[in-house]
Amino acid sequence: MIRIYNTLTQQKEEFRPIEPGKVRMYVCGMTVYDYCHLGHARVLVAFDVVTRYLRHRGYDVNYVRNITDIDDKILRRADENGESYTELTDRMIKAMHEDEARLGVLSPTEEPRATAFISEIVAMIQTLITGGHAYAADNGDVYFAVDSFDGYGKLSKKKLEDLLAGARVDVQEAKRSPADFALWKSAKAGEVSWPSPWGDGRPGWHIECSAMSTCCLGDTFDIHGGGPDLLFPHHENEIAQSECATGHTFVNTWMHAGAIRVNKEKMSKSLGNFFTIREIMEKYPAEVVRYFLVSSHYRSQVDYSEENLAEAGRTLTRLYHALRGIVPAKAADVQVSEHDERFAEAMDDDFNTAGAIAVLHAVANEINQHRRDGREEDAKYSAAILVRLGGVLGLLQQDPEAFFQADTGSELSADDIEALIQARADARKGRDFAEADRIRNDLADKGIILDDSREGTTWRRA
Ligand SMILES: [Zn+2]
């Protein structure tokens, strides 16, 4: 039985999907006005691991992750760039898909975009108005009336009276109470807009997710996830909208990833410690970044630093070293082992990836021991287990040589290195050992390590 920590009840609960064998999961995706940053990478990888593990345990997972492709930040950035908002969002969606692929994040089953759901969003707002949960202001905005929903604050454990204390309504806004939030925003002159019963405008951010999730997954679904900053107000508002519109429980299990810090500080542009995923993947192989993220529990706070990334690189290298030069046994020939059971025990406990990775290292140690003992077949068998379990975490699926040779901005290409290795072999053949050593040392200075064996010379990046 899988146990998941539910933010709503603040405890680990046995996971029982609504429909046996099937999981319906929604995760709030990116607002596509810029490249994905490290915090996005954490959420992407965390729910990728959840999806992979649930599938590994035999569930049919319908994973929906939306794209917010219209909002203030998008319009502002497009304006600054002198491009249309769709040119900007198309470019950023393409970049996001590239980043995901490099991080080994599987595509969600469905990836709905807000602008493709305007009529569903308008219909939901209409339902809320009819039910007395929302009101149209004179300026064409529509607001959700927070005091119309008794359950407001149940996710974030905030009390409405505390939210109202000291809050004031901006004179620009037409809402009745400071805690009310916009469902529909009337268009300013020249802005992109869609027609609605309240005039031309565009949807608020919160209503998008309520409309898209219920359209794709039904009124009630199993898991809703997102980053830690979305818990309030975004997810609280989603619950209010959806439960008032449908009259049903919105979500059974709420999952939130932990925060990411950079050198023990909050990551922010003003502190100059803000990194996009692509900046980080220029310095470190993508799989090392993924390993770094997966090696901590998804709810824990993670600290990004050069030191921690270097450590992730070293430990992942140990796993690949165990696989180097071995052709794993055929997957079909490999039974469920004690390692599989220990791995499942860790992952069943609220996706304890740190415990699961400890199992991978135990398997790697076993492979190394088999090799030392000359038991090649046993080593191949254990290698197949390591690759199988690594795959559940989205790790260890590369050819070890490709991992060792991954280029992260070094001055030497693989072709350059192969040519130098050939030159060194020629020098040795001609008994010019001084030249052969010079080439070897020269490569070492550039971070290329040569490993000689009977089969020839292989190389890896340090
Ligand atoms: Zn959302």
Protein residues with C-beta less than 5 angstroms from the ion ligand 1: 28, 209
Residue entry with tokens 């219920």? 214
- CA of residue 234 to ligand 1 center, whole Å: 6
- CA of residue 205 to ligand 1 center, whole Å: 7
Q: What are phi and psi of 201, to 5 degrees?
A: 180, -160
- CA of residue 68 to ligand 1 center, whole Å: 8
Strands 11-14 and 3-6: antiparallel
Domain positions in the chain are 3-137+204-260, 306-404, 414-461
Residue entry with tokens 């550039």? 446
- CA of residue 260 to ligand 1 center, whole Å: 19
Cα Rg, the chain, nearest whole Å: 26
- Is residue 104's pLDDT more than 70? yes
- CA of residue 96 to ligand 1 center, whole Å: 17
- CA of residue 94 to ligand 1 center, whole Å: 20
Burial of 171 (0-12, 13-18, 19+ CB in 10 A): exposed
Higher pLDDT, 2 or 163: 2
- CA of residue 35 to ligand 1 center, whole Å: 18
| Contact between 212 and 197 (Cβ < 8 Å) | no
- CA of residue 150 to ligand 1 center, whole Å: 21
- CA of residue 29 to ligand 1 center, whole Å: 7
- CA of residue 364 to ligand 1 center, whole Å: 40
pLDDT digits (tens, 9 = 90+) for 119-155: 999 999 999 999 999 999 988 999 999 999 999 999 9
- CA of residue 209 to ligand 1 center, whole Å: 5
Q: What angle do CA 12, 16, 19 make, to 5 degrees?
A: 155
Residue 59 CA to residue 53 CA, distance in Å, equals 9
Residue 132 CA to residue 442 CA, distance in Å, equals 76
- CA of residue 290 to ligand 1 center, whole Å: 24
- CA of residue 243 to ligand 1 center, whole Å: 15
- CA of residue 227 to ligand 1 center, whole Å: 10
Q: Is 334 helix (H, G, I), strand (E, B) or coil?
A: coil
- Is residue 284's pLDDT more than 80? yes
- CA of residue 298 to ligand 1 center, whole Å: 19
Q: What is the mean pLDDT of residues 239-248?
A: 98
Burial of 441 (0-12, 13-18, 19+ CB in 10 A): exposed
Residue 332 CA to residue 336 CA, distance in Å, equals 10
Cis amide prior to 233 (ω within 30 degrees): yes
- CA of residue 131 to ligand 1 center, whole Å: 23
- CA of residue 199 to ligand 1 center, whole Å: 24
- CA of residue 206 to ligand 1 center, whole Å: 6
- CA of residue 385 to ligand 1 center, whole Å: 37
pLDDT digits (tens, 9 = 90+) for 422-449: 999 999 999 999 999 999 999 998 888 8
- CA of residue 208 to ligand 1 center, whole Å: 7
Q: Which amino acid, residue 200?
A: D
- Is residue 265's pLDDT more than 90? no
- CA of residue 6 to ligand 1 center, whole Å: 17
Residue 450 CA to residue 462 CA, distance in Å, equals 10
- CA of residue 22 to ligand 1 center, whole Å: 22
Name the nearest CA neighbour of 97 among 143, 55, 44, 56: 44
When pLDDT is cut at 50, 70 and 90, the band that residue 364 belongs to is very high
Residue entry with tokens 């490249």? 35
Which residues is 184 bridged to in the sheet? 142, 203
Q: Which amino acid, residue 445?
A: D
Name the nearest CA neighbour of 256 among 2, 68, 66, 7: 7
In CATH terms, the fold of domain 3-137+204-260 is Rossmann fold (3.40.50)
When pLDDT is cut at 50, 70 and 90, the band that residue 190 belongs to is confident
What are the residues whose beta carbons fall under 8 Å from the beta carbon of 340, sequence distance 6 or more? 385, 388, 389
- CA of residue 235 to ligand 1 center, whole Å: 7
What are the residues whose beta carbons fall under 8 Å from the beta carbon of 119, sequence distance 6 or more? none
| Contact between 301 and 359 (Cβ < 8 Å) | no
Pick the CATH number of 306-404 from 1.20.120.640, 1.10.2020.10, 3.60.15.10, 3.40.50.2300: 1.20.120.640
pLDDT of 461 reads: 83
When pLDDT is cut at 50, 70 and 90, the band that residue 411 belongs to is confident
Provide, rounded to the nearest whole percent, the portion of the chain with pLDDT above 90. Answer: 82
Name the nearest CA neighbour of 324 among 290, 367, 385: 367
- The chain-wide mean pLDDT, for the chain, equals 94
Distance set, CA 85 to CA 116, 203, 313, 392 (Å): 15, 15, 39, 37
Residue 382 CA to residue 123 CA, distance in Å, equals 56
